[in-house]
Structure formats: C-alpha cells, structure tokens
Amino acid sequence: MISTAQAEGDLYTQGAHVAHWTPAGQKPVLLTSSKSLFAAGKAIRGGVPIIWPWFGGRGGGLPGPAHGFARTMDWTVEGTELRSDGSVGIALVLAPNDATKALGFGAFHLRFRASFGKTFEMELETRNTAGEALKYEEALHTYFAIGDIGKTGVTGLEGTTFIDKTDGFKRKQHGAEPVKVAKETDQVHLNSQAACVIHDAAGGRRIVVEKSGSDSTVVWNPWTEKIKGMADMGPDEWREFICVESCNAADNAVTLAPGGTRVLRCAIRVE
C-alpha cells in the first residue's frame, strides 16, 4: 500500500503486480476486479499483470501458463524510495528458479520498477545472462478504469496493422479513426511505438499512455459473453475497463544478445 500527498497505490510481490494507482484528486485509474482471487499461483485480475516471457499461449506444443510465468511468481523487493517530489519508487527482481528452469528459462534477470506519483511510471528490464540469444515476448497488460466502454475511444493506433484474435488471428489494417469497442475486442497492433490516449468520455477524462522500448500495443475487452466464463470478473465489469497494453508480441518478439539488456517503459497520466 502506497499513500502520499501525490497518489495512492497497491503493489503485490506476487507477480510484482500493481493493482491500483490513484493520483490525488482523481478517480482510480486502474481497474482490479472485485472478484480477483488473490490466490497463490493465480494472476491477480486487473491492475498491471507483467507478461513474460511469452504473450498468450506459449505455442509450439510447449508447456507453461498463459501469458508466461512472471505474473504468478513471487518477486523480491530490491528497494523502495520516497522521493523529494513526493513520488514513491519500488523496484522488484525475478531470477531463475527450479520452475523457470523446468520451462527452459534458466538464465535471465528481470527488474520491475514502479513509480507512484502524479504520473505512474513502470519499467520492465530484461537482462540476458545466458551465453546464447534470449527470445521472449513481454507486456505491461494494463487494465484501465473507464466510465463506459461504449463511450470510450483509443487514439494513437491509426494506420497500424493488427492481428485480430477474435477473427482467426487475421491481419487487418486499422484506419484513421479511434479504436472503439462494440463487441469482444482483442487486437495486437504491430510496429506501433506511438503514445495512446484513452478518451474516457463517460469518465470525463483522458488517460495518456506513453511508452518506449515497446513495438506492439494490444487493445482488449472481453465484452458480454467471454466475461461470463471468467470466474474472477463480475458479469458487468466489461463496461468498466479497457486494456491498452504496452508490449513486444508476435512479430515484435524480442531477441536479446548474450549479456544484453532491454527496457520496456510506460508512463501514464490523466488529463
């Protein structure tokens, strides 16, 4: 639990999972489901799940949990900092263990830094400690709280190619209009480095999502039917959130040279 004059927030060592960030004078910016299980080995539903080292199903007939193992493992707090500007920084690390080695990941080092203040900043640093290249996907899979999905649009993805996971993973071209959600939406926008803005008309605000070190952006909302099969979400919660995920997925998977380091950054503010 973080509480300063600038913001409030919650972070769990399981998954280095940020569940809440509320800047002073604002409504909560992240949604964590009222039905999240908060159980060992089960990802918290909402906030910012850290997706690593694969996005979605692992594929290739290989074993492993959806969206990788980082979000259900216990991370170690490396340090905390109350800064002179009133923001709070927390750093957590994840190193290989028997479970990751059994999945074929025995040489890596992850560091996640979160900064809670008037803006919310995250960094996911991957270091390859192996003697060969490390290929991985990653995402900060952020659930943004909005007033009404039907009155929400996302700009910043104009003209991008996306993989439509609701339509046979077909590749499609997005036009010049904002991304809107009027059915189940699950889109991996490729080669997109631009900042996104969530226009939350019902909530009377815009949420700006800037990023660096990220070449893909996913927009997801389960809509009315898929959410019914999600035990850790209320049946009406689909109206109240949109995931805009800063990631490196699919064609934008990362191949990191031995000894290399790469950082995915995301900075969020409300206007």
Q: Could you list the residues that contact ligand TA6 (CB under 6 A)?
A: 43, 56, 66-67, 141, 165, 186, 218, 220, 243, 245
Q: Which residues pair with 227 in a beta bridge?
A: none
Q: Of 7 and 137, which CB lies nearer to ligand TA6 in the complex structure?
A: 137
DSSP summary character for residue 201: T
What is the C-alpha separation between 197 and 45, in angstroms, rounded? Answer: 23
Q: How far is the CB of 60 from ligand TA6 (least distance, A)?
A: 17
Token digits for 70? Answer: 């980082």
Q: Is the separation of the CB atoms in 242 and 155 below 8 Å? A: no
Using DSSP's 3-state secondary structure scheme, residue 270 falls into strand
Q: How far is the CB of 120 from ligand TA6 (least distance, A)?
A: 19
In terms of residues, how long is the chain? 271
Of the candidates 108, 155, 136, 141, the one whose C-alpha atom is nearest the C-alpha of residue 17 is 141
Q: Is the separation of the CB atoms in 189 and 213 below 8 Å? A: no
Q: How far is the CB of 119 from ligand TA6 (least distance, A)?
A: 23
Q: How far is the CB of 93 from ligand TA6 (least distance, A)?
A: 23
Query: Is-catalytic flag, 245?
Result: yes
Q: Is the separation of the CB atoms in 6 and 84 below 8 Å? A: no
Q: Which residue lies nearest ligand TA6, judged by its C-beta?
A: 220
Query: Is-catalytic flag, 109?
Result: no
Q: Which of 17, 141, 174, 189 is catalytic?
A: 141
Tell me the catalytic residues.
141, 245
